[in-house]
């Protein structure tokens, strides 16, 4: 009887181990790792944004200074018509400066739903807290392959008492890099509003960064907006005066 | 004989006063209703043509598919040569480019910070040019409340209600915040030259009117426009001509597969307009017809009663040997005289309030407080050539018909029994 008993115990142990191996990590733990990978103290990013509209494509170049989750300053560098346009985000307030009118205007109310420079991204998207854990409760619903990478599929629902711009999201998160490679954003009604597809990634200072991404407004009949990050500097030193209204007019 | 009969009518008021008053009242009501309904009909189509639809409208095919308020991303480009072609090909119409846009009007304080802000609905029109057709089409001189019309670039008109709400007046600075043709945020500074009130509720809530060249620059729409409106020079919508103009243009200009190639729509071909104008036209025509028929029946009855009231008199005249045919003709001439007199006087009396209301209008703004329809909230009557004749249908025809039917009784009466009837 003893060899049979030992065999049964071994089989049970193996089965338990196998179950433990296939058990996916919790949604909350994946979300925490995504936030750890994406969030940084300070960063300076230079990016190109190509908007594929119905009348053709336009490319803009911008430089963004970001401090934590509350402060961001963006200056458009190209093309000439947009050059010098600046945006400042301080907590839940957003201002834009136009050199042609020499006016600083606060973007508020329904204007937050407007497109940023004609792209598929809205000012509301810019204003949202980048830490997903603060906004959503996550559930791991499965695993799928995206662009040849094995991914966890996460479903995010708005946390009770929190009112994010999108009621729910679906994320395909790279299992090793904890970077979302694909994302869908939904309204409360369940209507698909926005999609993001990461086309290429790059490792910079031990972080995985989306190098080329296509952001698409599902309600628009166009080719989406392509973001290409040309330069990123994490934990950069940024003087405090950058995040002031005075710097908009400089 | 006619003079004799009319003198009789004038002297014997019992025979003429009641029938004449009935005819005058009936004709007055008919004529005034006709001008009122015509006024409502043209109110809708004139306001829509001036601000939105034109009598014909050229847009890109993509914008035409989009409906009433397409994005400027779908605007027509290369409008200079296109307008030249339209003016050459169809000289009977006035061609004017327009850009419609939405956005915010932001009023700065002394430090350049936002002092007040409100959503606006804007028009880029041919405003500054000396030969601007839009000044006349949109009745800008008449609509001016404060200040003056723009005389140069960078000057705008805003609705008086909006200006009051924003606490700004002529001479003030305003910044337009809108979107370019490509969707980027657009900001542009303007000086408010004057304030206007169109009497069109949808416009008076928050309209801004700027010169099209300024809007082209502000919205990055060089040589582009959302639409080109075509209006007949006599300001009257000629549906058949408009359709033949549109067919001729579309036959030559449409390029298959190019969603930005121009296409022309008639006023009736535009979404929402066809149904509204047809509905109003049918309802108003039906109302005029029904009212005219009712008034005809009333006046016909009045004619009948008038004839019956004179039963005894006619009997006496027959007993004296008056010829039946002569008596019948006399009755017809009398009713014709009363009908003509009542119709002329009724028409003249109806024309007085109708003309007053055509010139002054009646402000029904409270009915359109939240309306987005391009309908003038000042209701005006419209006097048309038909106004001068419509009253004669019930006034003369019905009255004479009533008298004619009543008079048939004359022929049925036997001379032998007349004395007995009179004795009874």
Is the predicted pLDDT of residue B141 greater than 60, yes or no? yes
pLDDT at A81: 85
Report the Cα–Cα distance between both ends of chain B, in Å, rounded. Answer: 32
Is the predicted pLDDT of residue B132 greater than 70, yes or no? yes
pLDDT at A177: 92
pLDDT at A193: 95
What sections of B310-386 are H helices per DSSP?
Answer: 311-319, 324-360
Contact check, Cβ <8 Å, A105/B187: yes
Contact check, Cβ <8 Å, A115/B74: no
- Residues in chain A within 8 Å Cβ distance of B184: 81-82, 117-118
A51, A101, A104 ranked by CB distance to B189: nearest: A101
Q: For B148-206, where are the E strands, in sequence order? A: 155-159, 173-179, 185-196
pLDDT digits (tens, 9 = 90+) for B176-203: 988 888 888 888 999 999 999 887 777 7
Q: How many CA atoms lie within 13 A of A100 on its CB side?
A: 18
pLDDT at B188: 92
Of B130, B149, B134, give the one whose Cα is nearest residue B96: B134
pLDDT digits (tens, 9 = 90+) for B70-85: 788 889 988 999 999 9
- Residues in chain B within 8 Å Cβ distance of A103: 106, 108, 112, 175, 187, 189
What sections of chain A are H helices per DSSP?
Answer: 2-22, 27-38, 123-127, 132-135, 245-248
pTM of the prediction?
A: 0.70
B217: which 2 tokens?
């620059």
A55, A103, A110 ranked by CB distance to B73: nearest: A55
Contact check, Cβ <8 Å, A100/B185: no
How much is the average pLDDT of B300-310?
A: 71
- Residues in chain B within 8 Å Cβ distance of A119: 183
Contact check, Cβ <8 Å, B175/A105: yes
**In sequence order, what DSSP letters do the residues of A92-119 get, joined into one string?**
TEEEEEETTTTEEEE--GGGGGSBSTTS
Of B61, B55, B56, give the one whose Cα is nearest residue B75: B61
Contact check, Cβ <8 Å, B62/A119: no
Report the C-alpha gap between B408 and B328 in whole angstroms.
8
Q: Are B117 and B106 in contact (CB under 8 A)?
A: yes
Q: Are B173 and B167 in contact (CB under 8 A)?
A: no
Report the C-alpha gap between B98 and B56 in whole angstroms.
13
pLDDT digits (tens, 9 = 90+) for B388-397: 988 888 888 8
Contact check, Cβ <8 Å, B187/A103: yes
- Residues in chain A within 8 Å Cβ distance of B106: 103, 105
Q: Are B318 and B418 in contact (CB under 8 A)?
A: yes
- Residues in chain A within 8 Å Cβ distance of B70: none
Summary mean pLDDT of chain B: 83
Q: Is the dihedral of CA B392, B393, B396, B399 positive or negative?
A: negative
B276: which 2 tokens?
């509204």
Strand, coil or helix: what is B310?
coil
Nearest-CA distance B70 → chain A (Å):
13
A81, A96, A114 ranked by CB distance to B220: nearest: A81
- Residues in chain B within 8 Å Cβ distance of A116: 185
Closest-CA residue of chain B to A108 = B117
Q: C-alpha dihedral over B232, B236, B237, B238, to 10 degrees?
A: -80
Residues of B contacting chain A (CB within 8 angstroms): 62, 73-74, 104, 106, 108, 112-114, 119, 175, 177, 179-185, 187-189, 220, 259-260
- Residues in chain A within 8 Å Cβ distance of B258: none
Helix, strand, coil percentages for chain A (3-state, nearest 5): 20, 45, 30
pLDDT at B6: 64
How much is the average pLDDT of A199-223?
A: 89
Closest-CA residue of chain B to A102 = B112
Nearest-CA distance A185 → chain B (Å):
22
pLDDT digits (tens, 9 = 90+) for A20-75: 446 788 999 999 999 888 877 788 999 999 999 888 889 999 999 998 878 899 99
Interface test with A, best of B70, B179, B183, B190 (most A CBs within 10 A): B183
- Residues in chain B within 8 Å Cβ distance of A100: 187-188
Nearest-CA distance B184 → chain A (Å):
4
Nearest-CA distance B219 → chain A (Å):
11
Of A184, A195, A192, A190, give the one whose Cα is nearest residue A226: A195
- Residues in chain A within 8 Å Cβ distance of B112: 102-104
Strand, coil or helix: what is A229?
strand
Report the C-alpha gap between A129 and A125 in whole angstroms.
9
pLDDT digits (tens, 9 = 90+) for B316-346: 777 777 788 888 888 888 888 888 988 999 9
Of B248, B145, B253, give the one whose Cα is nearest residue B192: B145
Residue B147 β-bridge partners: B194
Nearest-CA distance B190 → chain A (Å):
10
B73, B114, B179 ranked by CB distance to A106: nearest: B114
Residues of A contacting chain B (CB within 8 angstroms): 51, 53-55, 58, 81-82, 85, 96, 98, 100-106, 110-111, 114-119
Interface test with A, best of B110, B187, B223 (most A CBs within 10 A): B187
Whose tokens are 């005034």? That residue is B32
B77: which 2 tokens?
């480009």
Burial annotation A120-149 (CB, 10 A radius, 16+ → b, else e): bbbbbbbbbeebbbebbbbebeeeeebeeb
CA distances from A219 to A186, B180, B191, B330 (A): 11, 19, 36, 80
Contact check, Cβ <8 Å, B182/A105: no
- Residues in chain A within 8 Å Cβ distance of B173: none
- Residues in chain A within 8 Å Cβ distance of B104: 111
Is the predicted pLDDT of residue A169 greater than 70, yes or no? yes
Is the predicted pLDDT of residue B123 greater than 70, yes or no? yes
A102, A105, A118 ranked by CB distance to B184: nearest: A118
Is the predicted pLDDT of residue A230 greater than 80, yes or no? yes
């Amino acid at each position: 009887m003893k060899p049979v008993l030992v065999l049964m115990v071994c089989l049970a142990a193996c089965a338990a181990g196998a179950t433990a191996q296939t058990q996916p990590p919790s949604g909350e733990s994946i979300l925490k790792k995504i936030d750890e990978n994406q969030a940084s103290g300070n960063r300076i990013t230079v990016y190109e944004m190509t908007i594929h509209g119905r009348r053709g494509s336009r490319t803009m170049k911008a430089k963004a200074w970001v401090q934590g989750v509350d402060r961001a300053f963006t200056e458009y560098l190209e093309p000439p018509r947009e050059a010098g346009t600046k945006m400042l985000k301080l907590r839940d307030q957003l201002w834009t400066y136009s050199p042609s009118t020499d006016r600083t205007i606060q973007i508020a109310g329904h204007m937050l739903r407007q497109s940023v420079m004609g792209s598929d991204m809205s000012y509301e998207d810019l204003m949202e807290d980048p830490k997903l854990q603060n906004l959503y409760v996550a559930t791991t619903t499965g695993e799928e392959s995206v662009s040849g990478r094995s991914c966890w599929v996460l479903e995010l629902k708005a946390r009770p008492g929190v009112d994010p711009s999108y009621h729910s999201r679906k994320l395909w998160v790279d299992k090793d890099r904890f970077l979302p490679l694909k994302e869908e954003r939904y309204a409360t009604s369940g209507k698909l509003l926005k999609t993001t597809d990461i086309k290429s990634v790059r490792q910079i200072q031990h972080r995985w960064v989306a190098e080329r991404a296509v952001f698409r407004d599902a309600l628009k009949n166009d080719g989406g907006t392509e973001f290409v990050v040309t330069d990123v500097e994490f934990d950069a030193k940024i003087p405090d005066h950058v995040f002031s209204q005075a710097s908009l007019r400089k | 004989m006619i003079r004799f009969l009319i003198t009789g009518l004038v002297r014997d008021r019992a025979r003429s006063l009641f029938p004449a008053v009935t005819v005058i009242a009936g004709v007055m009501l008919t004529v005034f209703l006709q001008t009122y309904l015509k006024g409502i009909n043209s109110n809708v189509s004139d306001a829509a043509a001036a601000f939105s639809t034109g009598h014909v409208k050229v847009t890109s095919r993509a914008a035409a598919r989009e409906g009433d308020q397409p994005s400027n991303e779908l605007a027509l480009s290369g409008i200079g040569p296109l307008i030249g072609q339209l003016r050459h090909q169809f000289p009977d119409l006035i061609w004017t480019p327009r850009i419609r846009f939405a956005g915010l009007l932001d009023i700065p304080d002394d430090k350049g910070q936002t002092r007040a802000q409100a959503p606006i609905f804007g028009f880029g029109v041919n405003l500054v040019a000396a030969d601007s057709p839009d000044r006349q089409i949109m009745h800008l001189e008449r609509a001016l409340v404060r200040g003056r019309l723009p005389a140069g670039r960078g000057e705008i008109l805003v609705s008086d209600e909006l200006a009051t709400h924003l606490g700004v007046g002529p001479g003030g600075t305003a910044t337009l915040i809108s979107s370019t043709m490509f969707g980027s945020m657009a900001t542009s500074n303007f000086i408010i030259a004057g304030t206007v009130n169109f009497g069109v509720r949808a416009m008076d809530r928050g309209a801004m009117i700027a010169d099209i060249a300024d809007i082209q620059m502000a919205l990055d729409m060089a040589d582009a426009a959302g639409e080109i409106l075509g209006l007949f020079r006599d300001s009257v919508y000629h549906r058949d001509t408009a359709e033949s103009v549109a067919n001729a243009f579309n036959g030559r200009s449409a390029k298959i597969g190019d969603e930005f190639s121009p296409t022309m729509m008639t006023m009736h071909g535009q979404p929402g307009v066809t149904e509204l104008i047809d509905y109003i036209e049918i309802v108003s025509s039906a109302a005029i017809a029904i009212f005219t028929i009712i008034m005809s029946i009333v006046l016909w009855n009045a004619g009948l009663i008038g004839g019956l009231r004179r039963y005894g008199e006619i009997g006496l005249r027959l007993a004296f040997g008056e010829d039946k045919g002569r008596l019948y003709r006399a009755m017809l001439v009398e009713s014709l005289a009363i009908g003509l007199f009542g119709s002329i006087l009724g028409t003249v009396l109806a024309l007085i309030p109708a003309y007053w209301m055509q010139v002054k209008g009646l402000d029904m703004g409270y009915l359109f407080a939240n309306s987005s329809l391009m309908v003038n909230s000042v209701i005006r009557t419209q006097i048309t050539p038909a106004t001068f004749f419509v009253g004669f249908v019930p006034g003369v025809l019905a009255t004479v018909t009533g008298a004619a039917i009543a008079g048939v009784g004359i022929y049925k009466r036997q001379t032998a029994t007349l004395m007995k009837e009179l004795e009874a």
